[in-house]
């Protein structure tokens, strides 16, 4: 069998099947906790949802608790858990494995222990664990798979070794992976893992100096070599990536944001244009959920010089949903704020779509910075 079908079959087998679209309500669950500062990152381990950001308190069931940029709760009941490591700076990314939670951000200490932008935490008691590396720059994204923790951001060195905005660590030893070292020539904002492939998205022009890797590229999960088949054409900086059996979905910034779906060869399947940045994306059951700074979804792929819709629009305040054929759905919760939504995540245990960001209301009701639909 030719090489390409084998790769596609492997990817499809490792991603969840595209079942019928879930009945996601536009009304947020009242049981989910809220926060006094921005939520930048979400991760899951079983029924536990972990969040990170700029917040210093969390509110659940009418009571407010100290939570310094890291918190966790039971996604089925909304109960805030005792898990409360203390980061002294912004937490920008999270990744959960069977035995650990990894966080990356602008912090220098966590629970009083020295950690330079990266930390490994116990998943139930929050204790700082053995995993200590220096980072010369800013991390933006984490993902796990293939026995590795993948890191992306804007940095030149990790643990004293040269790295080009991406790096990987062994989940077994915690050591920097000396073999996996692709080089992106500018910021990596998003990483997604699907079996033998790692997808990188950001503001870079090239990965490994290979043509056709502008802003979005696929590399081998073990060797780091650039995939010779996946060659998408992306019009603006990629801020987020989601994967399903049909392809690679990205949220882009720029003059008017876009949600774009690519096949696993890089061909455009569909795209939706918005009048502001699209910064978050999540796909489940054949529906792609998009979040960002936008106020409207354009009716065509054209927008103006300042990003405004040219051929008409539908109101979509920071949140929208798109079918597998690129059609706008009726799902339209109304979030407020200039920044709006920063992160979207599918919680398969609770059967919800989770949104984090800087919003303080949804549909005119108080809902501070986190919502589960």
Domain chopping of the chain, boundaries: 244-372
pTM assigned to the model: 0.93
C-alpha torsion sign, points 355, 187, 323, 258: positive
pLDDT value of residue 3: 41
Q: What Rg do the C-alpha atoms of the chain give, in angstroms?
A: 19
pLDDT value of residue 265: 96
pLDDT in tens, 312-359: 999 999 999 999 999 999 999 999 999 999 999 999 999 999 999 999
Contact predicate 334/308, CB 8 Å: no
Spatial separation of the C-alpha atoms in residues 157 and 264, rounded to whole Å: 31
23's CB contacts (< 8 A; 6+ apart) are none
In degrees, to the nearest 5, what angle opens at C-alpha 373 toward C-alphas 84 and 80? 20
pLDDT value of residue 9: 40
> Which residue ranges of the chain lie beneath pLDDT 70?
1-23
Spatial separation of the C-alpha atoms in residues 357 and 193, rounded to whole Å: 23
pLDDT in tens, 185-220: 999 999 999 999 999 999 999 999 999 999 999 999
Task: Name the phi and psi angles at 337, rounded to 5.
Answer: 100, 160
């Amino acid at each position: 069998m030719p090489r390409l079908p084998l790769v596609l079959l492997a990817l499809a087998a490792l991603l969840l099947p595209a079942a019928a679209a879930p009945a996601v309500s536009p009304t947020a669950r009242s049981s989910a906790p809220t926060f006094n500062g921005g939520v930048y990152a979400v991760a899951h381990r079983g029924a536990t949802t972990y969040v990170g950001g700029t917040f210093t308190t969390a509110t659940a069931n009418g009571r407010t608790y100290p939570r310094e940029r890291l918190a966790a709760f039971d996604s089925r009941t909304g109960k805030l858990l005792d898990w409360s490591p203390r980061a002294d700076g912004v937490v920008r990314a999270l990744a959960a494995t069977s035995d650990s939670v990894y966080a990356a951000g602008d912090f220098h200490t966590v629970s009083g222990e020295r950690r330079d932008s990266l930390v490994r935490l116990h998943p139930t008691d929050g204790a700082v664990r053995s995993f200590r590396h220096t980072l010369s720059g800013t991390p933006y994204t984490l993902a796990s798979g293939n026995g590795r923790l993948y890191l992306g951001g804007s940095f030149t060195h990790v643990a004293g070794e040269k790295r080009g905005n991406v790096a990987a660590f062994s989940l077994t030893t915690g050591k920097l992976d000396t073999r996996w070292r692709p080089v992106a020539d500018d910021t990596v904002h998003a990483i997604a893992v699907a079996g033998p492939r790692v997808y990188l998205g950001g503001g870079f022009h090239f990965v490994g100096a290979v043509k056709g890797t502008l802003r979005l590229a696929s590399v081998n999960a073990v060797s780091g070599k650039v995939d010779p088949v996946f060659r998408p054409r992306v019009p603006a900086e990629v801020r987020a990536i989601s994967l399903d059996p049909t392809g690679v979905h990205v949220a882009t910034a720029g003059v008017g944001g876009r949600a774009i779906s690519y096949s696993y060869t890089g061909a455009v399947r569909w795209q939706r244009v918005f009048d502001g940045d699209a910064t978050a994306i999540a796909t489940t059951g054949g529906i792609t959920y998009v979040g960002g700074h936008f106020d409207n979804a354009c009716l065509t792929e054209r927008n103006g010089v300042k990003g405004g819709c040219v051929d008409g629009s539908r109101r979509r305040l920071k949140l929208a949903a798109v079918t597998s054929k690129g059609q706008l759905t009726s799902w339209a919760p109304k979030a407020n704020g200039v920044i709006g939504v920063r992160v979207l995540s599918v919680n398969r245990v609770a059967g919800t779509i989770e949104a984090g960001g800087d919003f303080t209301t949804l549909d005119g009701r108080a809902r501070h910075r986190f919502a589960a639909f």
